[in-house]
Amino acid sequence: AWVLLTLHGIGSRPTQFGLHVPKEGVYADVKAALSAQSGVPIDRLLVVQVKHNRIVRSYADSMDIGDLVYATHRDVGVVAYEVEYPVGQYEVRSPTLYSLSSASTLDLNQRSPGELALCLVALQHQVPATVTEPSSPSEDDSEQPRTTNCSYRYNTNHHTKHRRVERQLFGAPALVSITRDASSAEIHDKIRQVTEHLVDPDLQETPYKLHVSNARADTFLHRDVSEESADPLPNDITRGSFTFTLEWTPHGYKEGRLGCESPRLHVSADSKPASSSLDLRTCIAKFTEKEQLGENDTWYCPKCKAHVRAFKKFDLFSLPNILLLHLKRFRYAQGSYSMQRDKINTLVTFPVSGLDMADFVVGNIPPDTSTVYDLYAVSEHMGGLGGGHYTAKAMNPRNHKWYSFNDSSTSDTTADDAITSHAYVLFYLRRALPTR
């Protein structure tokens, strides 16, 4: 499959890449393809889902890529982020990032270089807020978080200030790498790095205020983090789950942004392959290739006593008189939320006569055995998974004429008319060896 994926580099304008990935692949395949195009090491790439300007989930390497291949809703997108250090060195501090690695590969207590634990924190951008007074504290406490306009509850020194702030997010979220005991000034430096492409360098003042939010991003745990303080964030915050929110000032929002939020296009994003056909011999060659099992389809090795990504291979040791070739037209794959299903309408061209299977047979072929086949029938399917219709085209062995069969209707046709994207099962007859 060919997919578009936007990569958010550290402090650089996002770039959209076009990637060729297995349609039934996993996100490890996506990261490998993106790394090859971008030059970013695989272990420094995170793939996440962004919805309504927030990171809502992340994808482990072994997860199915159905969300990427079948994403159609414009407000929901799968994007990638570059991080400073290998993913396995981080303590994840924003809960939507917890699934970025399995427990076997991510140690939440692991120490990073310098014996200081690295934290990976999600950051979102907030438009300038309009402050109003709620009618009662209980009304504010019952307010539920929403993904567009919603209310924040301010929590300072564990005493809630009942002020309602209408909040609306904008732009792409970011990921910030900090040490657990980083000072407030150091945190601001890190945030300046990841927002460098957004902020006008001629701006004289910081165009936003930094707040620390809770895991649900509906309560401020620490407001207006100082740009100059040498003190770290309180331990009860850094030891738990939190996110960063940049509340932009009215002037910064209007005058201080560079308008670099839309991604630039990598040359690969403009190289989507044209809808093309496949050749039957290419399909057979692919079918008989050595193939490694996927992350979710491992094999238990009795020798090493572990589940491994083994290799499998199909070989032909002999050929039948009647050769039936079933073209895969229906795809079923378990996605992250539901079963992914679709109809494959790719045109596969196939020979009407003279299909030689000799190259696909393992071992010696007896000299009195023909390896050449001629087409004599095609079963067709039109429609999709929810409903369809079967027809057929076949050759009369007596007069060698081709006919089309559609329920009770029969009409003349030609063998070449059978070569369509509706072809589903191909029927070949072994050609007799010439008599001497």
Looking at the predicted structure, is the pLDDT value of residue 371 above 50? yes
Give the sign of the dihedral formed by CA 193, CA 197, CA 202, CA 204: negative
pLDDT tens readout for residues 128-178: 875 443 444 333 333 333 334 444 444 444 444 444 445 788 999 999 999
Residue 333: pLDDT band by 50, 70, 90 thresholds?
low
Find the mean pLDDT for residues 9-36: 90
Higher pLDDT, 118 or 136: 118
Q: Note whether 182 and 232 are within 8 A (CB).
A: yes
* pLDDT value for 393: 97
Torsion angle in degrees (nearest 10) through CA of 227, 233, 234, 236: 140
Find the mean pLDDT for residues 90-94: 82
Residue of 374, 413, 382, 406 lying closest to 392 (CA atoms): 406
Find the mean pLDDT for residues 204-215: 90
Q: Measure the CA–CA gap between 60 and 1, rounded to whole angstroms.
A: 20
Find the mean pLDDT for residues 195-209: 91
The count of other CB atoms within 10 Å of the CB of residue 158 is 7
Residues comprising the chain, all counted = 436
* pLDDT value for 71: 60
Q: Note whether 385 and 347 are within 8 A (CB).
A: no
Sorted by where each starts, the structural domains of the chain and their CATH numbers stand as 2-267 (no CATH), 314-430 (3.90.70.10)
Would you put residue 125 in left (φ > 0), alpha (ψ -120 to 50) or beta?
beta
